């Protein structure tokens, strides 16, 4: 579908009956004529070098524009201009590499609203067949809802698994670039204990360098960001859920609004902020499809921001999306690229369900899926009925929802000491798989990083090393047989099948395999 939309991206939310209105990521681009008109008047400008010229204000004004945001570390600007020839005039300026309007990747309704859960099937009747789980269930945990967290068990993040070896260091910071964190009026009890209030920021509508530090600005009034933060690092405190890395430091970087949309340039600025502040991991459960020719400036900005972040010790990890697309199919996608999931230097994550098979909605592709992680599958991989979510996965959620689609299944748990209560939602998506993988990355940095004295402003572990360990210690998952998997009964707007290419060690469905928290902190030395 071709739309002319405001300059925003949208989150990759859970797909299916998890929500009142099931959603998936639609391919939304600007047609060339629309790009030339750019009704919003908001432009991305990138220069040839990764620095801004000294006379940049005059250069932009001469082309008929006004600078509204600067990202000097990557030579990028946001510019407002109503001049019909701004792109041509700015593009002709010496030293300018690309000028593009920002675009919107819009979530498109997938299924009719419903609160009904699909019937649960016993494991042996799973249409996709049962693979040997990476981690068995049940496994013991400490928090009230841990016995529902099959996704953490699959990664061996449990009392008898990684929690017994490494729970994460306080001086390891995992940033979640999303809708923020629920902190107002009362901070979520499963996020607040590990949340770094001082370094959290909002980049939505903020022209201040380094974002807006006010908690009111980066408060999550949607829920998606809070879910992802809890998946990474919900503390072990007897309340609610447990994160993969329950003692790392969490940093909320708000790049998506309360309705789940945000600017690609805000995403780039947040990645730069992560690099400047030497954060260790950046988890991004968001994205959209960009056209190389129409959106070159946006792609370059995110690519440069990724390079800047990695050069400063940040390991970027991103969702691949919920379209059931083969992202390696050049004939199908042609000039389109999923950003940030396909950007070089970003670890792309596909989603699996209860039986360790690719989730029916998850994008995939050889050279695109680097690793896989549990994200839920409510249709084809239904767990036993003792799991209340019907194939979905459980995490923290914000009580206030100002514009997103509320999950159908919500639970509550309270801290008996403080009497603070939090909401929890059963959802699914590559959005959920991504922070699960990011949590393992946080454990890797904690286990193998350099934490000699005066370490607060230095690189703890090179991203290349983090990525290598994450992949080496993942549980290889072979392609299903037959390799062409059909999904009868899946949403009609998704492709009805998916073909897995590759072998057990590396393939398009799972990359190097399904991440394993215990192996990541115990078995690397053996390789």
User: Into which CATH architecture does domain 139-449+469-526 fall?
Assistant: 3-Layer(aba) Sandwich (3.40)
Q: What is the pLDDT of residue 455?
A: 58
DSSP string, 275-291: HHTT-SEEEE-EEEEEE
Q: Where in the chain is the domain with CATH 3.30.70.80?
A: 9-107
Beta strands 336-339 and 286-291, pairing class: antiparallel
pLDDT tens for the chain, 527 residues long, are 333 334 444 444 443 322 222 233 333 333 333 444 688 899 999 999 999 999 999 999 999 999 999 999 999 999 999 999 999 999 999 999 999 988 754 433 333 333 333 433 444 434 444 444 578 899 999 999 999 999 999 999 999 999 999 999 999 999 999 999 999 999 999 999 999 999 999 999 877 889 999 999 999 999 999 999 999 999 999 999 999 999 999 999 999 999 888 899 999 999 999 999 999 999 999 999 998 888 999 999 999 999 999 999 999 999 999 999 999 999 889 889 999 999 999 999 999 999 999 999 999 999 999 999 999 999 999 999 999 999 999 999 999 887 777 787 899 999 888 888 999 999 999 999 999 999 999 999 999 999 988 755 678 999 999 999 999 999 999 999 999 999 999 999 899 999 999 999 999 999 999 999 999 999 997 44
Q: What is the pLDDT of residue 104?
A: 56
What element of type H or E holds 271?
A: helix 264-276
Q: How many whole angstroms separate alpha carbon 64 and alpha carbon 336?
A: 30
* H helix runs in 155-244, sequence order: 215-218, 224-233
Backbone phi, then psi, for 290, in 5-degree steps? -110, 145
Q: What is the pLDDT of residue 23?
A: 30
DSSP string, 408-419: S-EEEEE-TTT-
Asked if residue 84 has a cis previous peptide bond (ω within 30° of 0), the answer is no
**CA contacts within 13 A on the Cβ side of 275:** 21
Q: How many whole angstroms separate alpha carbon 394 and alpha carbon 424?
A: 7
**Superfamily (CATH H level) for 9-107:** Peptidase S8 propeptide/proteinase inhibitor I9 (3.30.70.80)
Helices (H) and strands (E) in the chain, counts: 12, 22
Q: Where in the chain is the domain with CATH 3.40.50.200?
A: 139-449+469-526
Q: How many whole angstroms separate alpha carbon 427 and alpha carbon 351?
A: 12
Q: What is the pLDDT of residue 419?
A: 86
Residue carrying structure tokens 């995939």 = 364
* H helix runs in 370-522, sequence order: 430-448, 463-472, 517-522
Query: Catalytic residue numbers?
Result: 178, 224, 431
Q: What is the pLDDT of residue 40?
A: 86
Q: What is the pLDDT of residue 457?
A: 66
Q: In what order do the strands lie in the sheet with 347-352?
A: 201-202, 249-254, 173-178, 281-284, 315-319, 347-352, 371-374
């Amino acid at each position: 579908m071709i739309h002319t939309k405001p300059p925003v991206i949208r989150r990759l939310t859970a797909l299916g009956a998890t929500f009142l209105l099931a959603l998936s990521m639609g391919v939304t681009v600007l047609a060339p004529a629309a790009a030339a008109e750019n009704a919003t008047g908001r432009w991305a400008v990138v220069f040839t070098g990764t620095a801004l010229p000294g006379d940049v204000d005059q250069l932009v004004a001469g082309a008929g524009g006004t600078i509204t945001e600067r990202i000097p570390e990557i030579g990028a600007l946001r510019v407002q201009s109503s001049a019909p020839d701004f792109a041509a005039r700015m593009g002709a300026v010496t030293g300018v590499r690309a000028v593009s309007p920002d675009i919107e990747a819009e979530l498109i309704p997938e299924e009719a609203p419903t609160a009904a859960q699909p019937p649960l099937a016993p494991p042996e009747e799973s249409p996709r067949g049962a693979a040997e789980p990476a981690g068995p269930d049940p496994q013991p945990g400490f928090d009230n809802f841990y016995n529902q967290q099959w996704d953490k068990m699959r990664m061996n993040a449990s009392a008898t698994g990684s929690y017994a070896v490494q729970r994460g260091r306080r001086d390891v910071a995992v940033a979640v670039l999303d809708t923020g964190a629920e902190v107002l009026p009362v901070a979520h009890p499963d996020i607040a204990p590990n949340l770094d209030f001082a370094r959290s920021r909002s980049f939505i509508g903020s022209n201040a360098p380094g974002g807006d530090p006010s908690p009111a600005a980066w408060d999550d009034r949607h829920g998606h960001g809070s879910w992802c933060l809890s998946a990474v690092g919900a503390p072990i405190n007897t309340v609610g859920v447990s994160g993969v890395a329950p003692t790392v430091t969490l940093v909320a970087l708000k790049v998506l609004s309360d309705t789940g949309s945000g600017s690609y340039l805000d995403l780039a600025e947040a990645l730069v902020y992560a690099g400047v502040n030497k954060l260790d991991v950046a988890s991004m459960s968001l994205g959209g499809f960009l056209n190389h020719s129409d959106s070159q400036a946006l792609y370059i900005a995110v690519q440069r921001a990724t390079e800047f972040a990695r050069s400063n010790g940040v390991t970027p990890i991103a969702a691949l999306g919920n379209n059931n697309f083969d992202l390696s199919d050049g004939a199908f996608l042609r000039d389109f690229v999923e950003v940030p999931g396909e950007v070089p230097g970003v670890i792309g994550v596909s989603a699996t369900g209860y039986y360790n098979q690719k989730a029916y909605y998850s994008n995939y592709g050889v050279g695109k899926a680097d690793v896989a992680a549990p994200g839920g599958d409510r249709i084809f991989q239904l767990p036993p009925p003792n799991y209340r979510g019907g194939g979905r996965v459980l995490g923290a959620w914000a009580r206030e929802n100002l514009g997103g689609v509320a999950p159908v299944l919500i639970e509550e748990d309270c801290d008996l000491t403080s009497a603070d209560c939090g909401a929890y939602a059963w959802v699914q998506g590559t959005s959920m798989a991504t922070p699960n993988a990011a949590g393992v990355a946080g454990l890797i940095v904690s286990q193998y990083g350099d934490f000699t004295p005066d370490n607060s402003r230095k690189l703890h572990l090179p991203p290349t090393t983090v990525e290598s360990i994450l992949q080496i210690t993942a549980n290889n998952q072979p392609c299903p047989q037959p390799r062409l998997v059909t999904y009868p009964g899946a949403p009609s707007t998704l492709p009805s099948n998916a073909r897995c290419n590759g072998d057990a060690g590396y393939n398009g469905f799972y990359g190097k395999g399904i991440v394993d928290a215990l192996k990541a902190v115990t078995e690397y030395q053996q390789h």
